[in-house]
Every structure is written in C-alpha cells, then in structure tokens.
C-alpha cells in the first residue's frame, strides 16, 4: 500500500510544479492557464482513483461522526455552487468557466475533490516526506523566479517584458499571478534550518533573495501588502506561543524597508518604482478598482441570494461601469478585483457565507491547534505555522485581486495539510490515551 501513497506524493509534486511552471509557448500570454486547468483536472482524477484504491484495500473505514467540521462545511460550499449554477444567467459559462479564467462549476468541484485528496494523503505521509515536499515547494518558487528574470538577460518572446510594461511574469502569464504564487511559498523559506549542510543553507538564502527580487519586479503592490500582513499575523502567533519577540522585530524591519521603497521611489523615474509610487497616475488602478467594486455591489443587489452564476460578470457588469471602463477591442471587465466580492456577485449570500464560514473555521481551528500543540517534533509546528501564514497571505491578496488556478492549487493544498495535521494529531492523542 505504501507504493500508492508514494505515487500520490509524486503526483502532488508534479501538480504543484505544473501550477508554477507549466506553460505552452503559443498561449503563454492570453489563455495561459488553460494547460494548468487541464493538467489539474487530469491529476485530480488520478489522485482520486489512487485514493479510492488505497481506501478500499485499507478496510474502508468511514465515520461521519469523526469527520472534521471543515470537511462537513464543504457540503455547504457544494450546495451554494450548485444553486449558483442553477440560477446562472449563462449556464454554459458557469459550467466550464470564462475565457482566460476557467473557474466555472467544474473546476470548483475539482478543487474541492483535490482538497479531500490532500487531506487523505498528508495523513499517510512519513514526517520526512512531508518536510521534503515543502522543501520541494521552495525549489519551485526559485525556478519560477529565475525563469521570470530571463528577459532581463536574453531577448525572448515568450516572456517578453513589453507585454506588461517591464513587469516580470514568467510562466504564470501575468505579473499578479506570479506575485501570488511567490507570496504563497515564501513563508516556507522558514524551513531554512531544516537544511543540514552549509552549502544548502547558502543556496536557500540566495534563492530567497532571488524570489524577493522577482516579487519586487512583478510590480504587484497588493502582493507585498498581503505578504506583510500574513507575516505579521504569524509573528503575533509566535510571540503568543513562544514569547519570541524577535519575530515582530523582523516584520517591522520588513515594513520599514517597504515604506523606505515607497519614499525613495518618488525620486526615481523607472517603470517598476513607478508602480509603487503614490503619484496621481499610479494610483489610477486603485480608483479603477473602487469603481469596479461599486459596480459589483450594485450588481449583487440585483441578485442577492444565489448570485448571477460562476464566471458571468463580463457583460452583466457593463451597465454599472463608468464609460471609460466599458468593454472595447482592447479589454473587457470580468472581475471586480476583489475575490470576496466576486463570490458575492456570482454566488450570492449563499455562496459568500458558505465560503467565509469554511475558511474562518479552518483558520480558527488551525491557529488553536498551533497554539496548543505540544509536539516534540518542531517541524510539525513550523509547517503548520507556514501553512496558516500562506493561506492568510493568499486571501489578503484575493481581497485586492482575484483567484487564479495556480493560486487555488496552493491554497487548497495548504488547507488539506492543515486539516490532515489536525486529524493526525487527534488520532495520535487517542492512541496515547488508550
């Protein structure tokens, strides 16, 4: 049976790598997430088959009573997704997803099934395999960062900087998508101490530097805000648990550096620094997002209970937009630039409440678990803390942007680890009490 778990671990490693690195040159700029979506679906199907085989040959133990609350709450999300589809203004789009996004009902259900598989596999892995897997994530972020930097050294069409005004995006097709991936993995660089050799630690330090430079070159302001917010929450948790005040010093130092960048950049005339400026034209995107969110709220009021259906904002939001934001031959609006508001618009209060309850309960229980855990294996504490940090950072970013396929692959992966860790500790405590 161990061979099945080993195969699942390999699949999980390949899937996470594909979320960051899979790209088809012919569609590396527009529908760039299409190959990631297909691979996500195929891999999740294979995952599920292997999980079912392992579960059957392990005796098919199943108890609703012992099922974690987080998994039970998934039922509410599924029901809300189905109602959003039933009442959709465009069922075809809601089913398969809009162009370039591909986040319709099918992919939402795939993400839930993937989460359940992640819960299952993380319970079965050896401690060393868990640690090695999250070290693998670090490697992925460094590779993705290096690929994104290629255009600075070689004139290459596939990652041309001219597509986004000198902002890097690499294999993610969009600077904001790359930034989201990086802030989701950066917390796991905290596994630095788990690398035994001096050379390995030096390489990890260099990798972190490359990753941070790449994050800066994406020009994503919301990603920095989200990352700092996640690290600040993590620091507070560490202070509460271990009274390690140096964590807060580190975070405040990072905030000081970022504020310094904001101050320094107004004397610079470079494209990337300009992205972080507070000048009138650079804050235009903030104003635009406020217009989008106001329009989104007005659209929500028209369909408050079950929403307008997954992925159907494009076209429906037009009447509520100012003239300069209405669709033309250059662009069209299909998001409000706030994932929580997108859910409210497309799935109504039913979907929004189900989504928020699931994630609030998951994070609340994870934080309680972290603060109460008394495991002699410190690595469990570290990975749990980093997973909490990553989920908070991803959602903070979603509050200023929108969900992506690559982002959701990591989001539900970390959620699966947290629930698996909770179940693993609970089973261990039961065994010790017998």
Give pLDDT tens digits for 356-368: 999 999 999 999 9
The model's pTM: 0.91
212-228 pLDDT tens trace: 999 999 988 899 999 99
102-141 pLDDT tens trace: 899 999 999 999 999 999 999 888 888 888 999 999 999 9
pLDDT at site 153? 86
Query: CA-CA distance, 121 to 11, in Å (whole number)?
Result: 11
DSSP state string for 344-359 = HHHHHHHHHHHHHHHH
Nearest-5° Cα angle at 2, 384 to 12: 50
CA-wise closest residue to 120 among 19, 11, 5: 5
pLDDT interval class at 261 (50, 70, 90): low
Query: CA-CA distance, 178 to 167, in Å (whole number)?
Result: 10
* Spatial contact of 388 and 234, defined as CB atoms under 8 Å apart: yes
Q: For residue 328, is pLDDT > 80?
A: no
Length of the chain: 434
**From 92-101, 360-369, 394-403, the region with the lowest mean pLDDT:** 92-101
Mean pLDDT for the stretch of residues 398-409: 92
Query: CA-CA distance, 149 to 29, in Å (whole number)?
Result: 16
For the chain, which residues make up each domain, given as ranges? 2-433
Tokens 């909770």 sit at which residue?
422
* Spatial contact of 94 and 309, defined as CB atoms under 8 Å apart: yes
pLDDT at site 415? 97
Instruction: Report the first-to-last Cα separation within the chain, whole angstroms.
Output: 26
Tokens 């630095």 sit at which residue?
192
Q: DSSP class of residue 1?
A: -
Mean pLDDT for the stretch of residues 271-285: 52
pLDDT at site 166? 82
pLDDT at site 128? 86
Tokens 């050799």 sit at which residue?
197
pLDDT at site 2? 83
């Amino acid at each position: 049976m161990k061979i099945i778990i080993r195969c699942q671990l390999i699949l999980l490693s390949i899937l996470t790598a594909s979320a960051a690195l899979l790209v088809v040159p012919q569609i590396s700029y527009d529908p760039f997430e299409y190959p990631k979506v297909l691979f996500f679906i195929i891999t999740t199907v294979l995952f599920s088959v292997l999980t079912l085989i392992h579960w059957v040959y392990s005796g098919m133990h199943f108890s609703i009573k012992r099922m974690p609350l987080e998994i039970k709450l998934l039922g509410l999300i599924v029901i809300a997704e189905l109602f959003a589809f039933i009442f959709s203004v465009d069922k075809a789009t809601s089913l398969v997803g809009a162009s370039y996004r591909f986040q319709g009902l099918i992919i939402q259900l795939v993400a839930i099934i993937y989460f359940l598989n992640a819960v299952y596999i993380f319970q079965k892995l050896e401690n060393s395999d868990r640690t090695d897997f999250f070290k693998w994530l670090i490697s992925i972020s460094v590779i993705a960062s290096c690929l994104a930097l290629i255009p600075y050294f070689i004139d290459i069409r596939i990652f041309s900087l001219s597509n986004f005004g000198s902002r890097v995006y690499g294999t993610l097709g969009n600077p904001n998508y790359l930034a989201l991936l990086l802030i989701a993995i950066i917390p796991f660089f905290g596994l630095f101490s788990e690398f035994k050799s001096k050379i390995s630690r030096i390489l990890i330090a260099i990798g972190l530097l490359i990753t941070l430079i790449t994050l800066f070159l994406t020009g994503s302001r919301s990603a920095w805000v989200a990352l700092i917010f996640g690290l600040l929450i993590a620091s507070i948790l560490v202070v509460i648990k271990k009274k390690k005040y140096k964590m807060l010093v580190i975070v405040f130092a990072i905030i000081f550096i970022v504020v310094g960048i904001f101050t320094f950049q107004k004397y610079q005339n470079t494209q990337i620094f300009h992205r972080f400026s507070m000048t009138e034209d650079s804050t235009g995107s903030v104003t635009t997002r406020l217009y989008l969110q106001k329009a989104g709220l007005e659209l929500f009021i028209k369909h408050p209970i079950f929403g307008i259906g997954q992925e159907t904002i494009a076209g429906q939001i037009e009447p509520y937009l100012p003239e300069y934001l209405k669709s033309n031959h250059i662009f069209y609006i299909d998001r409000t630039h706030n994932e929580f508001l997108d859910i409210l618009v497309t799935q109504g209060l039913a979907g929004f409440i189900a989504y928020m309850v699931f994630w609030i309960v998951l994070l609340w229980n994870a934080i309680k678990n972290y603060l109460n855990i008394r495991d002699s294996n410190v690595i469990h504490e570290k990975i749990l803390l980093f997973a909490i940090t990553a989920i908070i950072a991803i959602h903070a970013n979603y509050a200023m942007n929108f969900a992506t396929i690559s982002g959701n692959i990591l989001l539900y992966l970390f959620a699966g680890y947290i629930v698996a860790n909770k179940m693993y500790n609970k089973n261990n405590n039961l065994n010790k009490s017998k």
